């Protein structure tokens, strides 16, 4: 440890400075060992019982358990040497004829016992910490492995909030149990030894001490039951809060844009107040009462014992009293440890229950697919009488009576209306949907592109390679095929650009193309593509289809779901689905006239094109589906070749080195010492710190009364047992009882004050942090992974709730206890201060030398825990993709590396702590031995031997170790407050509350939008994205916004909702400057339907009407208008139908319709549609357009859409180019002008689509 502490003293430690763990402690070795033990104990069913889990953990750590048991026994035995010899020492001091060497021998024995205890205790604590690290590593890894194997049904039943608590709270608690593991047998041993010493000193009175001890211990049984109840309720309420918090953080963008963020904050605060009720009960009934019992235990036992002695006439000498007092002091520990042990057993059992229930969840039903031999068989996929169901307990199957045969090299298209089972069919080919009956065969490896893009946090190149080696030639070919080259050129870091969480800094089209590139690079035999073209514009979709499906994948088996009718004609086989069945199959021409389902899809498409032809009759657009190009946040390929060179010149940025410009930065870690302001903010948060002096005063009175009571007993009783005391026995015991009861009363007052101040402070910090998080600008969430925020609202908040108040209490007790001991020992001989002062100075120097490294190590393992949780929650979301690409082992290895990264600073922090404590203990032992030499050198008769003995008794517990330990523990824990306070200083979005900034209730009444010289940029150092836009959207008009990559479409929408504030210029809605309106008011009056449809866990009603403003009748009307009414009426719960986390039990298209339903209910005068129909089929899209036309006839509807049919249905088209208005007129007028950019755009799409998809 020496070199690391020296390095930490000289500089701020980083993770690279911390040495690697030995092989024995590495997560890889620990997990392999643990998994083998768990599997060898298992019953073969894959289910794990608590007994099996505990047995595997014991077998994993049996060496540490045996070694720590031996050390624990040695510690216990040596701790009783002092109390046993006190009586002999007092007799030596009282006798004038004792030999001098006997005194030196006693001093040597006292010193030797303290020395052996010091050595054994330091090794014991170090080994216990190591054991905890191994247990944590094993549990982190087994829970992560389970998340990769869970079935979809199991994932729906276990939310991400619960999973985060498993990884953060439960694993931590089980690891911490190692500290109380040996108390199960050590507490009875300590009590037996104590009673034996008391019997030697006081005879029958020891039985009273035994009874008093047992009564105090029995008091813990009801307390233990209460604690179990309160702890379970607290964890359940914490789960609920974490579930809502993680869901809100994942969807913060849509919450902000819809003005729902404060509603969700209120919901979280309400859940927290419910959680706080259980927290208060837990703290008051357990922490405060336990603390009272712990501090008062020796006082009550001594009161009962001495009273009994006086009552039956057992002679009490100073030696007997001091021996008894020293023993009672040691009895304090087992009396406290028993309830603490019960509490830890209860908490650990609850956590083990929760982890076991997670490990017992159903895994994916593997081996449902028969893998055909790859050579010689022409069949790639075959399903015979296949019935599949997401829920095996349900009577109705998800997919019914499937019969499919697909040969190698075939392109198979799947189409159908929303909710017909298209995505479920792909999922069953991925082995994700449980098979009820039938046969399914598959020949070859698979690659998958999900409908909702799953992008990992990290570099773009890592997302594309996805664990495979770099083949530069293939890589470049795939970038070109996926239109990603221009994107990467326009990125400052190229393909080294770090993607934010869930691809937050990518557009929907870019995420989809990176997914496709990942699948292509994998070079599989069978490709499963779930609606890969919905998120990209028409040109890019055409390019992807030509280069990828018809080019690179021409020899592969490709099964693709699509809503674009144009992409069906190139398929070798088309499957039309309805209600989980394949109702039609064949080639395009074969099924075109053979059934109604396919005709519905094509008919709706042709109807949309007919409306288009009425605008531009000469354009041959019969097969055109897509329209506008997606508004990328980075870039994509240009479609008009003339503009390509110009655009690249305009936008190409210089490549940067390092990570300064990356969106996601390393987590901020404070440097140097924890600032005094952190402590000050914490202690003054409640009643401006008024409780602090009261708590200190209460503890001073506790200690003073304890010392006075000890002096009283020693001074009023004679040294020799055969001499009668001067005062009556009733007076002696009455004064002693009064002092004891006074001390106990102040203990209770201190505990109550600490608990009250603690929970009030934690509530204030919680509310302040959450208020700041929910008021933070969206840029904060774009650049901050949710794992970092969740770490603060779970782990750090738990520390502030319970650990820090207790730690402060223990520090106050330690400091005042140490000062009391010094006072008692110095009062005997002032010369002892000559030893105490240098010892204290040396200890302070050691502590100062140690704390720099220890503090940074503590911060490092705080920072290193967030990536474990982040990687875990990310892997849970992408488990389908991970399994399809057979990447489980690689992801497991990443998890093990992250666990090692967390364990390294944790392990070395343990070593640093014991390094310091060993030196503290040795200094205390030497100082105590020197003090004893002083005492035996005092001339006999000059001081009362009882007072000298009292100094020796107090000296038994003399050590700065307790103070330093508690101070270091507090410094470690207070970092949680520091991290929470960081998040109370996040810059907030602008808010202008007050009636003068609140528009009228009917605003906006017309929906007229005036944009005046609007200039916007993303950061002060970046160039303008919008460079002086001036235009007017008349009220009640339908406005289409088009423009090429980076033209500013998305930026304009963000400016409208004030996600970005204008640098220059203004936006006026109905004559009011939106910059002067309260932000929440503005967003709640406008409506937006986003590209990525979002549903929250709860019910359908709570999703449609989260603010509870509408009647059932209005909700049903909205559902009927969006074509979901009949579907919902079929469901058992109707409007109360369950919505699981992320809305996973509803299809993507249905989620998009629900978002439309929200807008219909709100009926804002300004509605923005951002690719709002990208995930629905053409027929449904046409119905949605009709719905918008009818029900938003008086509203201003601003549309960014990929379908050109949607764009040409607008009243006005705004064409942006490089942040400027290029054209703004009606579609008809723009199309009349052959030279207009809009006309060129439509002409190009017509030409491309006609040449590629209208053959034959």
Following DSSP, what letter does each residue of 1023-1045 receive, concatenated? PPSEEEEEEEE-TT-EEEEEE-T
pLDDT in tens, 1216-1239: 887 888 888 888 888 887 777 777
Per-residue model confidence (pLDDT) at position 635: 33
Per residue in 217-228, pLDDT tens?
777 777 777 877
Q: Determine the longest span between alpha carbons in the chain, in angstroms.
A: 128
User: Which of 437-451, 662-676, 750-764, 1063-1077 shows the lowest mean pLDDT across its residues?
Assistant: 662-676
Does the pLDDT of residue 1111 top 80, yes or no?
yes
> What was the pLDDT predicted at 700?
93
Please report, for residues 98, 124, 257, 1030, 1065, the alpha-carbon distance to residue 1168 in angstroms, rounded to integers and kept in the order given. 99, 65, 11, 19, 21
> Helices marked H in 469-595 — which ranges?
472-481, 485-489, 508-522, 538-544, 588-592
Summarize the confidence of residues 270-286 as an average pLDDT. 86
Mean residue pLDDT of the chain comes to 79
Residue 997: predicted pLDDT: 62
- Mean pLDDT, residues 12-36: 84
- pLDDT interval class at 658 (50, 70, 90): very low
pLDDT above 70: residue 664: no
- Which range has the worst mean pLDDT, 232-241, 497-506, 1009-1018, 1196-1205? 497-506
| pLDDT at 644 exceeding the cut of 60 | no
What pLDDT, on the 0 to 100 scale, is given for residue 73? 92
Query: Residue 1203's pLDDT is what?
Result: 61
Taking 50 as the threshold, does the pLDDT of residue 1254 lie above it? no
Question: In the structure, what pLDDT confidence band is assigned to residue 764 with cuts at 50, 70 and 90?
Answer: very high
CB neighbours of 430 closer than 8 A, spacing ≥ 6? 446, 448, 528, 880, 883, 884
Residue 1179 has pLDDT above 70, yes or no: no
pLDDT tens profile 176-206: 888 888 888 888 888 888 888 888 777 778 8
Instruction: Count CB-CB contacts under 10 A for residue 228.
Output: 18
The pLDDT of residue 69 is: 92
pLDDT above 90 covers a percentage of the chain that reads 4
Give me the pLDDT at residue 280, please.
Answer: 87
pLDDT at 626: 35
Would strands 1064-1069 and 1072-1073 be described as parallel, antiparallel, or unpaired?
antiparallel
Is residue 496 within 8 Å of 460, Cβ to Cβ?
A: yes
Q: How confident is the model at residue 655 (pLDDT cuts 50, 70, 90)?
A: very low
Comparing 346-360, 1009-1023, 1050-1064, the range with the smallest average pLDDT is 1009-1023
Q: What does the pLDDT look like over 687-713, one tens digit per residue? A: 888 888 999 999 999 889 988 888 887
pLDDT, mean of residues 598-612: 57
pLDDT of residue 639: 34
pLDDT for 701? 93
Chain segment 552-594, per-residue pLDDT in tens: 888 889 998 887 777 777 888 888 888 888 888 888 777 766 6
Q: Over 80: is that where the pLDDT of 100 sits? A: no
pLDDT at 548: 87
SS3 377: coil
Pairwise pLDDT comparison (132 vs 958), residue with the higher score: 132
pLDDT score, position 992: 55
User: Where does the pLDDT of residue 765 fall: very low under 50, low under 70, confident under 90, or very high at 90 and above?
Assistant: very high
Q: Give which of 1049, 1152, 1046 is closest to 637, Cα–Cα.
A: 1046
The rounded distance, in Å, linking the Cα atoms of 1172 and 1207 is 12
pLDDT at 597: 61
Cα 168 to Cα 174: distance, rounded to the nearest angstrom: 11
Which residues, in sequence order, are CB contacts of 776 under 8 Å at separation 6+? 986, 987, 988, 989
pLDDT > 50? residue 946: yes
The residues, ordered by sequence, that sit 6+ positions from 1255 with a Cβ below 8 Å of its Cβ are 569
What local confidence, expressed as pLDDT, does residue 431 receive?
83
pLDDT given for residue 902 in this prediction: 86
> Residue 370: exposed, middle, or buried by beta-carbon count in 10 A (0-12, 13-18, 19+)?
exposed
Q: Is the pTM of this model over 0.75?
A: no
Cα–Cα distance for residue pair 244/238, rounded to 1 Å: 10
Distances (CA, A) of 693 to 278, 438, 574, 699, 812: 28, 76, 79, 10, 11
> What is residue 642's predicted lDDT score, i.e. its pLDDT?
37
pLDDT at residue 926 is higher than 70: yes
Is residue 1158 within 8 Å of residue 1100, measured between CB atoms? no
Find the range with the poorest average confidence among 44-53, 171-180, 249-258, 798-807.
Answer: 44-53
Tokens of 1065: 């210029």
pLDDT of residue 726: 59
Q: What is the dihedral of CA 692, 693, 695, 701, to 10 degrees?
A: 170
Mean pLDDT throughout 792-796?
85
Contact 1155, 1090 (CB under 8 A): yes
The least confident of 121-135, 386-400, 1122-1136, 1165-1179 is 1165-1179
Which single residue is written with the structure tokens 């304090």?
Answer: 332
Query: Which H helix or E strand runs over 575?
Result: strand 573-578
* Rounded distance between C-alpha atoms, residue 426 and residue 879, angstroms: 15
Predicted confidence (pLDDT) at residue 637 exceeds the cutoff of 50? no
* pLDDT score for 507: 67
Q: What is the mean pLDDT of residues 947-953?
A: 75
In whole angstroms, what is the distance from residue 280 CA to residue 508 CA?
46
- The torsion region of residue 886 among left (phi > 0), alpha (psi -120 to 50) and beta comes to left
């Amino acid at each position: 440890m020496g070199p690391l502490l020296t390095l930490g003293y000289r500089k701020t430690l980083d993770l690279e400075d911390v040495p690697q763990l030995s092989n024995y402690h590495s997560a890889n070795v620990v997990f392999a060992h643990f998994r083998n033990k768990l599997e060898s104990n298992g019953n073969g069913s894959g289910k794990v019982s608590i007994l099996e889990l505990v047995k595997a953990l014991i077998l994993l750590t049996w060496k540490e358990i045996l070694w720590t048991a031996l050390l624990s026994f040695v510690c216990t035995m040596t701790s009783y040497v002092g109390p046993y010899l006190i009586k002999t020492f007092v007799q030596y001091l009282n006798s004038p004829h004792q030999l001098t060497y006997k005194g030196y021998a006693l001093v040597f024995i006292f010193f030797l016992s303290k020395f052996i205890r010091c050595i054994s205790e330091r090794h014991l604590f170090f080994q216990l910490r190591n054991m905890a690290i191994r247990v944590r590593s094993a549990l982190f890894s087994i829970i992560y492995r389970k998340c990769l194997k869970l079935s979809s049904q199991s994932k729906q039943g276990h939310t991400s909030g619960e999973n985060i608590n498993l990884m953060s709270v439960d694993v931590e608690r089980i690891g911490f149990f190692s500290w109380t593991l040996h108390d199960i047998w050590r507490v009875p041993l300590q009590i037996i030894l104590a009673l034996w010493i008391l019997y030697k000193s006081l005879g029958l009175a020891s039985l009273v001490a035994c009874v008093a001890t047992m009564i105090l211990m029995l008091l813990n049984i009801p307390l233990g039951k209460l604690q179990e109840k309160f702890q379970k309720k607290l964890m359940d309420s914490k789960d609920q809060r974490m579930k809502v918090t993680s869901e809100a953080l994942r969807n913060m963008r849509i919450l902000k844009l819809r003005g729902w963020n404060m509603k969700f904050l209120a919901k979280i605060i309400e859940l927290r107040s419910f959680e706080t009720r259980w927290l208060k009960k837990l703290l008051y009934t357990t922490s405060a009462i336990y603390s009272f019992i712990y501090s008062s235990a020796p006082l009550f036992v001594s009161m009962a014992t001495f009273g009994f002695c006086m009552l039956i006439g057992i002679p009490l000498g100073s030696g007997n009293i001091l021996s008894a007092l020293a023993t009672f002091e040691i009895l304090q520990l087992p009396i406290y440890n028993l309830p603490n042990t019960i509490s830890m057993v209860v908490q650990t059992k609850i956590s083990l229950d929760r982890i076991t229930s997670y490990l017992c969840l159903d895994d994916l039903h593997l081996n449902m697919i028969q893998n055909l031999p790859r050579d010689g068989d022409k069949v790639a996929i075959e399903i015979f009488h296949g019935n599949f169901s997401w829920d095996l307990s349900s009577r109705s199957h998800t997919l019914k009576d499937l019969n499919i045969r697909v040969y190698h090299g075939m392109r198979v298209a799947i189409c159908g209306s929303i909710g017909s089972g298209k995505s479920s069919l792909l999922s069953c080919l991925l082995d994700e949907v449980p098979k009820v009956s039938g046969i399914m065969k598959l020949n070859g490896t698979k690659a998958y592109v999900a409908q909702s893009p799953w992008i990992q946090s990290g570099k773009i190149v890592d997302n594309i390679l996805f664990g495979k080696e770099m083949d530069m030639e293939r890589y470049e070919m795939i970038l070109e095929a996926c239109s990603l080259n221009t994107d990467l050129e326009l990125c400052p870091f190229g393909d080294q650009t770090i993607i934010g969480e869930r691809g937050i800094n990518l557009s929907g089209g870019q995420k989809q193309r990176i997914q496709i590139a990942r699948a292509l690079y994998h070079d599989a035999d069978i490709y499963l593509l779930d609606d890969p073209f919905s998120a990209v514009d028409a040109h890019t979709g055409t390019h992807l289809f030509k280069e990828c499906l018809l080019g690179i994948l021409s020899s592969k088996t490709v099964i693709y779901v699509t809503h674009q009718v144009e992409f069906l004609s190139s398929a070798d086989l088309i499957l039309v689905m309805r209600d989980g069945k394949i109702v039609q199959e064949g080639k395009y021409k074969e099924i075109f006239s053979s059934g109604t389902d396919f005709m519905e899809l094509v008919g709706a498409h042709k109807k949309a094109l007919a409306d288009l032809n009425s605008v531009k009759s000469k354009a041959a657009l019969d097969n055109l589906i897509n329209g506008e190009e997606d508004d990328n946040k980075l870039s994509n390929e240009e479609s008009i070749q003339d503009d390509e060179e110009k655009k690249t010149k305009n936008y190409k940025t210089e490549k940067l080195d390092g990570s300064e410009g990356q969106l996601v930065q390393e987590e901020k870690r404070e440097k140097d010492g924890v600032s005094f302001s952190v402590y000050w903010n914490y202690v003054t948060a409640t009643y401006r710190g008024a409780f602090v002096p009261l708590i200190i005063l209460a503890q001073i009175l506790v200690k003073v009364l304890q010392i006075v009571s000890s002096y009283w007993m020693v001074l009023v009783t004679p040294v020799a047992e055969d001499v009668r005391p001067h005062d009556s026995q009733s007076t002696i015991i009455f004064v002693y009882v009064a002092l004891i009861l006074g001390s106990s009363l102040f203990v209770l007052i201190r505990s109550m004050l600490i608990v009250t101040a603690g929970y009030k402070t934690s509530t204030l910090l919680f509310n302040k942090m959450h208020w700041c998080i929910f008021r933070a600008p969206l840029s904060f969430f774009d650049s901050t992974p949710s794992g970092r925020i969740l770490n603060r609202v779970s782990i750090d908040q738990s520390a502030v709730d319970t650990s820090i108040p207790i730690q402060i209490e223990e520090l106050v007790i330690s400091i005042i206890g140490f000062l009391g001991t010094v006072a008692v020992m110095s009062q005997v001989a002032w010369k002892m201060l000559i030893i105490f002062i240098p010892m204290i100075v040396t200890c302070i120097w050691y502590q100062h030398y140690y704390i720099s490294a220890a503090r940074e190590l503590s911060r490092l393992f705080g920072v290193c825990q967030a990536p474990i949780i982040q990687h875990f929650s990310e892997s849970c979301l992408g488990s389908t993709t991970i399994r399809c690409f057979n990447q489980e082992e690689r992801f497991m290895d990443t998890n093990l590396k992250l666990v090692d990264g967390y364990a390294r600073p944790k392990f070395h922090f343990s070593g640093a702590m014991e390094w310091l404590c060993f030196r503290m203990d040795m200094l205390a032992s030497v100082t105590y031995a020197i003090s004893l030499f002083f005492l035996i050198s005092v001339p006999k008769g000059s001081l009362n031997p009882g007072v000298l003995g009292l100094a020796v008794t107090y000296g038994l517990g003399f050590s700065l170790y307790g103070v330093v330990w508690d101070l270091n523990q507090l410094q470690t824990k207070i970092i949680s407050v520091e991290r929470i306070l960081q998040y109370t200083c996040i810059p907030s979005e602008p808010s202008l509350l007050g009636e003068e900034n609140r528009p009228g209730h009917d605003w906006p009444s017309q929906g007229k939008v005036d944009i005046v010289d609007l200039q916007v940029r993303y950061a002060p150092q970046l160039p303008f994205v919008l460079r002086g836009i001036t235009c007017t959207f008349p009220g009640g008009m339908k406005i289409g916004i088009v423009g090429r990559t980076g033209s500013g479409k998305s930026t304009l929408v963000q400016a409208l909702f004030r996600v970005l504030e204008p640098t220059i210029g203004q936006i006026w809605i109905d004559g009011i400057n939106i910059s002067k309106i309260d932000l929440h008011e503005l967003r709640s009056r406008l409506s937006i339907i986003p590209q990525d449809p979002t549903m929250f866990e709860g019910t359908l009603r709570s999703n449609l009407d989260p603010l509870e403003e509408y009647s059932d009748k209005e909700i049903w009307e909205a559902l009927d208008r969006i074509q979901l009414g009949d579907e919902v009426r079929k469901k058992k719960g109707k409007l109360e139908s369950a919505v699981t986390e992320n809305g996973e039990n509803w299809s993507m298209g249905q989620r998009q319709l629900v978002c439309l339903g929200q807008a219909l209910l709100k009926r804002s005068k300004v509605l923005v549609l951002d690719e709002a129909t990208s995930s629905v089929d053409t027929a449904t899209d046409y119905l949605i357009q009709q719905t918008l036309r009818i029900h938003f006839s008086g509203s201003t509807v601003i549309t960014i859409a990929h379908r050109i049919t949607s764009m040409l249905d607008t009243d006005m088209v705004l064409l942006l180019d490089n942040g400027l208005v290029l054209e703004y007129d009606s579609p008809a007028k723009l199309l009349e002008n052959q030279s207009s950019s809009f006309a060129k755009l439509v002409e190009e799409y017509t030409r491309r689509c006609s040449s590629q998809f209208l053959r034959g």
